[in-house]
């Protein structure tokens, strides 16, 4: 995969207002479960899970199993994306 396609995949990964909100939330509160993210953003579990899946595929969120729960945190790539998004405000 060339660099342009990789960049496209990352851009598509965060190209949604809910996914952007999830990234900013996980930056402030790393280690949240799907349930905790859904509660914090007043979203449906299924919707938040789908968004987290897209963010993970794009390499923006990393998952870690903790017992029966899965915890999420942002990647270094996501930190760069968030700085880019901050500059757009």
* Contact assessment for residue 54 and residue 13, using Cβ atoms and an 8 Å cutoff: yes
| Residue in the block written with tokens 């794009």 | 58
* Contact assessment for residue 8 and residue 58, using Cβ atoms and an 8 Å cutoff: no
Residue 5 structure tokens:
């396609």
Tens of pLDDT along 32-41? 999 999 999 9
Tens of pLDDT along 59-68? 999 999 988 8
Q: Where are the domains of the chain?
A: 3-88
Average pLDDT, the chain: 95
pLDDT band, residue 1 (cuts 50/70/90): low
Q: What is the pLDDT of residue 89?
A: 85
Q: What is the pLDDT of residue 66?
A: 86
* Contact assessment for residue 72 and residue 33, using Cβ atoms and an 8 Å cutoff: yes
Mean pLDDT computed over 5-20: 94
For domain 3-88, say whether CATH 1.10.10.10 is its number. Answer: yes
pLDDT at 74 over 80: yes
In the 8-state DSSP scheme, what is residue 75? -
């Amino acid at each position: 995969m060339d660099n342009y396609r990789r960049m496209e995949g990352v851009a598509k990964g965060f190209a949604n207002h809910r996914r952007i909100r999830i990234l900013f939330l996980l930056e402030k509160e790393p280690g949240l479960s799907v349930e905790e993210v859904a509660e914090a953003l007043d979203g449906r579990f299924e919707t938040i899970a789908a968004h987290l899946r897209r963010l993970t595929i794009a390499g923006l969120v990393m998952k870690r199993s903790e017992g029966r729960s899965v915890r999420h945190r942002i990647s270094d790539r996501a930190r760069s994306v968030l700085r880019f998004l901050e500059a757009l405000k």
